[in-house]
Amino acid sequence: MLIRIAAAFAVVLSILFASTSASADFSENPIVYFLITDRFFNGNPANDHAYGRKNDGASEIGTFHGGDLAGVTQKLKSGWFSALGVNAIWLSAPFEQIHGWVVGGNAEFKHYAYHGYYTTDFTVLDSNMGTVEELRELVDTAHSQGIRVLFDVVMNHPGYLDIQSAIDFKIPVIWRGAEKAELGNYHEFIDYNADKKKWAQWWGGAWVRAGLPGYTPEGTDDYTKQVAYLPDFRTDSKEFVSLPPFLKRKSDTRAVELQKATVRDYLVGWLAEWVREYGVDGFRCDTVKHVEPAAWKRLKAEAVAALSDWKAKHPDKKIDDEPFWMVGEYWGQGIEKSPLYGNGFDALINFDFQGRVSSSRDLDSLFHDYAARLSGKPGYNVLSYLSSHDTRLYPRNRLIDGGTALLLAPGGVQIFYGDETARPNGPTVPSDAQQATRSDMNWNSINQTVLAHWSKLTRFRARHPALARGAHHRLATSPYVFSRVIDGGGDAIVAALGATGEVDIPVAGVFKEGAQLVDAYSGRESTVINGKVHLLGESVVLLEERR
């Protein structure tokens, strides 16, 4: 029943606000919804246990939960995303992952690659995620609603070699009986000292750095060290390489042997092909700090060309003619401009926002600082977030205020799935607290108050690029009132926070005397008289000119 109510709510909102699509270029006002596909919605239960993957029958911390591409498409068709007002969906990496599990935490749970960060084959979809037909339907459905599709991508590393993959790909480095391994004895079944010819049957030393026989050892700098002991792709190498032996033998791979190609050439080509074939609009790039900037610049150039090719072949399916878009995760990056913006990135994830909004109630200082750097056309952007899969979920009892701060912030914004519904933390272990942030979407326990609040703010933001790029001015302190204005009459809004009951909101210098305004939060209309509007506020007031 609750699922049907939520779906009906989404459809009603999409109808009510059908005319409120974003009026700015996406790159100026990105509103990105990040979901972990496996934890979002199960659209096809038949693919839940691909490659023999199993539930653990306990807490299911690190197992596949069934979410897939078909599930995202179902939610697109129900109107969930358009009702929320987002203009891009960031999907966890959908490529084929390691088939089995590795030891999670301090030998506390079986860790499968449900999150997409342990790729085995970059050229095919993971069967748990679905089929190429389902991917094509997802992208086409999103585009028909004006919503871009972004892939999470990793060029720093593939996945670990797990026991099941070693069995499936016939890599002779495991002992007999390895299929019966458990958390306590897992590594005893992998022969880490096997002859280098045996280990060469996997990626091989020309492809990755790893502490294995015959492999190039890791380095000491950010570009060459192994992150979390994962094999490090040698994207910096000028050496020409052949396909790894296991990919040469893999019957369903789309990887083909190239002449005079480096590791970087292969990876860039594999990733760009998804853009050229399906019309993927952008990449969220993982572990940017650990890959040399030239590799990212190359990826961007190839992806721009690939999307241009796709749009030329599919003019009826494209959203617009904006180029391919790329955002990077560089740990610790804030709102300052970085040299990375000259190496392929349109935006970087903003690690400043979550901590700052959690520790301070001084929103005007935050808004002022952000607008000082991001208003106008500074040539770069950021994605601020309230919660993430790599840090923590924002306190669930503060999502009204937190959502207000995020969705009114200058720059771009990232909504983490379930922040709009008060999705609770999931099970975890002390040694890996981030697993708790990746719980199943709470379709059966949606907080409708939080959802309604976020939907109003997000759709208001989608209509007003001034929130992202406008000059910021405080107009009053109590209640807190501010304006965002794009010079030249491009767009303007006034917002008031803490405005409850009958209030006078100053708008002089933003809206003309006699202008007819609408509070997008309450739906009430008012007229500018003596530089003010008098209205009945519901804590948040979002003023725009009546259209």
* Cα(108)–Cα(230) distance, integer angstroms: 19
Whole-prediction pTM: 0.95
Q: C-alpha dihedral over 331, 62, 400, 33, to 10 degrees? A: 60
CA distances from 13 to 20, 213, 456 (A): 11, 59, 10
> Where is 359: in which H helix or E strand?
helix 352-359
Residues forming beta bridges with residue 541, ordered by sequence position: 496
Residue ranges per structural domain of the chain: 2-18+31-157+278-463, 471-545
* Cα(163)–Cα(178) distance, integer angstroms: 7
- Give me 521's structure tokens: 């939060």
Provide the CB-side half-sphere exposure for 252 (13 A, CA). 13
Class in CATH terms, 471-545: mainly beta
> Where is 283: in which H helix or E strand?
strand 282-285
CB 35 within 8 A of CB 89: yes
Residues of the chain predicted below pLDDT 70: 1-24
What pLDDT digit, counting tens, does each position of 343-384 carry?
999 999 999 999 999 988 899 999 999 999 999 999 999 999
Confidence (pLDDT) at 547: 82
Residue with tokens 């979550």: 354
What pLDDT digit, counting tens, does each position of 155-213 carry?
999 999 999 999 999 999 999 999 999 999 999 999 999 999 999 999 999 999 999 99
Sign of the CA dihedral with 32 first, then 35, 37, and 42 last: negative
- Which of 158, 153, 296 minimizes the C-alpha distance to 226? 158
Neighbours of 12 (CB within 10 A): 12
Number of H helices, E strands in the chain: 14, 20
Confidence (pLDDT) at 8: 42
Confidence (pLDDT) at 4: 39
Q: Which long-range contacts (CB under 8 A, 24 or more apart) does 47-50 make?
A: 47/127, 47/128, 47/129, 47/130, 48/128, 50/126, 50/127, 50/128
Class in CATH terms, 2-18+31-157+278-463: alpha beta
Q: Which residues are catalytic?
A: 286, 329
Confidence (pLDDT) at 24: 61
- Which of 44, 36, 163, 173 minimizes the C-alpha distance to 99? 163
